[in-house]
Amino acid sequence: MKILVISHLFPNTENKNYGIFMARQLIEMARQGMEITVIVPTIWTPPFMRIFKKWRNYDHDVPLCQFPGLNAIPVPYLRITGNWFYRWAGKSMFLALKKSACKLHKENNYQIIYARSFFPDGDAAVRLAKVLKLPAVCVGIGRDINIIPHYSKAIYKRFVEIANRLDGTIASGKAAAKIIDSVSGKQTLSVYGVVDLHRFTPVADKIPVREKLGLPLHKKLVLYLGTFKRDKGVYEMLEAFKQLHDEQPEAILEICGYGVEKEGMLRFIQEQGLESAIIMQGAIDNEQVNLWMQACDLFVLPTWHEGMPNAVMEAMACGAPVVVSAVGGLPDAIGDCPGAILIPPKNVVELKNAMLRALANDDLLKKMSLAARQRAEQSFGVEKTARTIINYLATFVNKTV
């Protein structure tokens, strides 16, 4: 099967983690025999507008990472700042990539278009599908489904139009799938996981991994890995850990990532005198993510809203018990798993109690670790997910033959 992919999420040489999960999925699909070309729309800023601060660093004009089996082609498109532009971003993207896509299709004779997100990739995909006379399938991610459509009536209307014009839709979990189905009347494929279960795997002994990362060897390590944003629950996490530290003074919270709340988080840590207990590591190399998850005793993600975060699936694949918010696709994916404790979002007390419950009982941690890995093997492996998606795409290709 020859697949034309549209994904603005794709790793580049300045940010190798940007869209890495989509890249992993596509690499596995290529390994399983698919011929894949990826058009990567990259944000372009008119030179005269770069004199303004908000536009200065908005360009994404950096080389893409290249992966075996994937032909990734950057195409610049105009993307204006502000939520209001979501209504028009798909059209802007379509106009920018139309010429390149038509040329590529003439050379390669694609059979289907596969887009990463409704806004703006899926919007561009349904427009391009009409021109190329190809079926189009799109993945709806959490923000796509839960947040962006509600920015305005016009954007919600476009969301409904996209859902109805797509031939097929894929979502990370039944919760997101149900939202798409409610506006399209179609049956959305629900899948989880793009986790390499060979790389993300438990280790028999955490000490060598901690030595390699320069981490405390014998303390209880709690890990947060994600963006530093208020709606990721980072301040609830800091407050909960401050309270936990009074009862578990040997526990350490390692915070890995980057984001706009970095300074505010550092200020909280300093004001509370927790510099030795809460460590801000900053962004970490993607090649070391599995090591951090293998090294920790507990992974936390107290987010306010989410689809199905890959970090949770990767942590569980490494045998790390997780404490996460019961939002998005998480209750469906792991709500019945003994390796996870689900908590209500924005609830400091529940978060603190959940962390304490796990960290205070070594036998429970071991049982949770085994259960977490088992769930990952059942549901999150990239090989299984890629095959499921390939089979789904094939149903639309076969209809057009």
Whether residues 254 and 318 share a domain: the answer is yes
What Cα–Cα distance (Å) separates residue 213 from each residue in 88, 209, 254, 296, 359? 45, 6, 12, 11, 21
Q: Is 145 exposed, middle or buried (0-12, 13-18, 19+ CB in 10 A)?
A: buried
Whether residues 238 and 314 share a domain: the answer is yes
Torsion of CA 84, 87, 92, 95, to 10 degrees: -170
3-state DSSP call for residue 199? coil
Mean pLDDT throughout 71-76?
94
Whether residues 349 and 396 share a domain: the answer is no
Q: Rounded to the nearest 5°, which phi and psi values hold at 251?
A: -80, 145
Q: Can you tell me the distance from the alpha carbon of 207 to that of 219, in angstroms, rounded to the nearest whole number?
A: 11
Question: Which of 48-57, 95-104, 165-174, 294-303 has the weakest average pLDDT?
Answer: 48-57
pLDDT digits (tens, 9 = 90+) for 114-169: 999 999 999 999 999 999 999 999 998 878 888 899 999 999 999 999 999 999 99
> Residue 248 domain-assigned?
yes
Whether residues 373 and 387 share a domain: the answer is no
Please state the domain count of the chain: 2
The range of the structural domain enclosing residue 396 comes to 2-194+382-400
Q: Can you tell me the distance from the alpha carbon of 244 to that of 262, in angstroms, rounded to the nearest whole number?
A: 21
Model pTM score:
0.81
Task: Give pLDDT, residue 293.
Answer: 97
Whether residues 370 and 388 share a domain: the answer is no
Which CATH number belongs to the domain containing residue 357 in this structure? 3.40.50.2000
Q: Can you tell me the distance from the alpha carbon of 59 to that of 67, in angstroms, rounded to the nearest whole number?
A: 23
Whether residues 118 and 107 share a domain: the answer is yes
pLDDT digits (tens, 9 = 90+) for 209-259: 999 999 999 999 999 999 999 999 999 999 999 999 989 999 999 999 989
Whether residues 36 and 123 share a domain: the answer is yes
> Residue 356 domain-assigned?
yes
> Residue 201 domain-assigned?
no
> Residue 199 domain-assigned?
no
3-state DSSP call for residue 391? helix
Whether residues 102 and 142 share a domain: the answer is yes
Q: Rounded to the nearest 5°, which phi and psi values hold at 74?
A: -80, 140
Question: 310 falls in which pLDDT band (50, 70, 90)?
Answer: confident
> Residue 202 domain-assigned?
no
Task: Give pLDDT, residue 383.
Answer: 92
